[in-house]
Structure 1
Amino acid sequence: MLSQLSLRKAENADADRIWEILQQAINKRKEEGSDQWQDGYPNLEVVKEDIANNYGYVILENEQQIIGYVAIIDAVEPAYLELEGKWLTDGKYAVVHRLAVAQDVVIKGLGTWTMQEAEKVALSKDIKSIKVDTNFDNIGMLRVFEKLGYSYCGEVFFRGGARKAFEKVLE
């Protein structure tokens, strides 16, 4: 199943499907009892900004159906400057935000595959580090980070809440 997947830059025409997928992820987090993404973020405007900044990517099945979304950002994340802890590196890095997969299509390993693709995108831009964060209760993403060798570096704060921060140095 994973062999039928591809990643491409998001386009303006993709925004509605991306927003639909994000809403599914927002609802899933709520059903799981999490407060992650329950404060009006992310929203359609954030998606449109990602696309305008060339940060947005869609996950395609069979090169046509959009089944996921991720923002791969090659700019400084201001919240990461205030890490309570220590990053592995001080140089250039990519940030992965807003990884969401469609709930109406179930593909085992999709989160892991997406993070591996994000690593390839970073390396293609000569970026040797990825920094990420997630809610303390986002077990799925925490497992992905562990499986792919991300190191726990401390806590960052977004919109008043603490989140676990991780980094992976890419080879």
Structure 2
Amino acid sequence: MSKDFLFRQAEQADATAIWEIIKQAIERRKADGSDQWQDGYPNPAVIEKDIVKGAGYVLVDGEIIIGYCALFVDDEPAYDHIDGQWLTNGSFVVFHRVAISGKYAGQGLAQQLLLHIEDFAKAKGIYSVKADTNFDNQAMLRTFEKVGYQYCGEVLLRGAPRKAFEKQLFDS
């Protein structure tokens, strides 16, 4: 994809557009037969909390928000216990709640969003990105594979086992 999209911190005014994108992603997960996000999570309160904490980030096409994720540095207690092994033990960026607008789905934008997350990490001098997904979220599992994430094992998140991945980054 040759078009450059802006990746920026979410603002309070973005909350409605972000929630619309999350709702579309919830419906896509359901249509794909995935159990992920079918239990009332995430919800508007979760998105609000992300924005207030400064963790919400959006992918923007002109003035249109087309993607969302939440980013945290060294802040995922569930990752302290993995059935498997992380590639690294140092500082890391973790992302959650990746969603792309239905109008832009299928265009490789989740991959582009993950590349922006890598740039975010490197800008902070962090060379590890970690994430997890449901066992049946085929779209995200394919995205992890396409952008070079390595399967590390299972973590328990919100009471359910999840596939855990990590990508080591290097100075370019």
Q: Shorter-chain TM-score: which interval?
A: over 0.9
Secondary structure class of the residue paired with 1:137: coil
Confirm whether residue 10 of structure 1 aligns to residue 15 of structure 2.
Answer: no
Deviations 1:78-131 (A, max 9, x none): 111111110011111000110001113346110100000000001111111000
Confirm whether residue 125 of structure 1 aligns to residue 124 of structure 2.
Answer: yes
What fraction of aligned residue pairs are identical, expressed as a percent?
51
Amino acid at match of 1:112: Q
> Gaps spanning 5+ residues in structure 2: where?
none
Deviations 1:114-157 (A, max 9, x none): 00000000111111100010111111111111121111100011
Secondary structure class of the residue paired with 1:104: helix
RMSD: 1.3
Amino acid at match of 2:42: P
Amino acid at match of 1:100: A
- Scaled by the length of structure 1, what TM-score is found? 0.95
Task: Give 1:74-153 correspondences, 5 Å limit.
Answer: 74-106=73-105, 108-153=107-152
Does the aligned pair in 2 maintain the 1:2–1:110 contact within 8 Å? no
Could you list the structure 1 runs, at least 4 aligned residues long, displaced by more than 2 angstroms after superposition: 104-107
Shift of the alpha carbon at 1:2?
A: 4.6
Secondary structure class of the residue paired with 1:84: strand
**Residue of structure 2 in register with 1:27 after alignment:** 27
Amino acid at match of 2:67: G
How many pairs does the alignment contain?
A: 170
Using the TM superposition, name which of 91-100 and 44-53 deviates more. 44-53
1: CA distance between counterparts of 2:2 and 2:96? 21
Secondary structure class of the residue paired with 1:98: strand
Does the aligned pair in 1 maintain the 2:35–2:136 contact within 8 Å? no
2: CA distance between counterparts of 1:106 and 1:40? 22
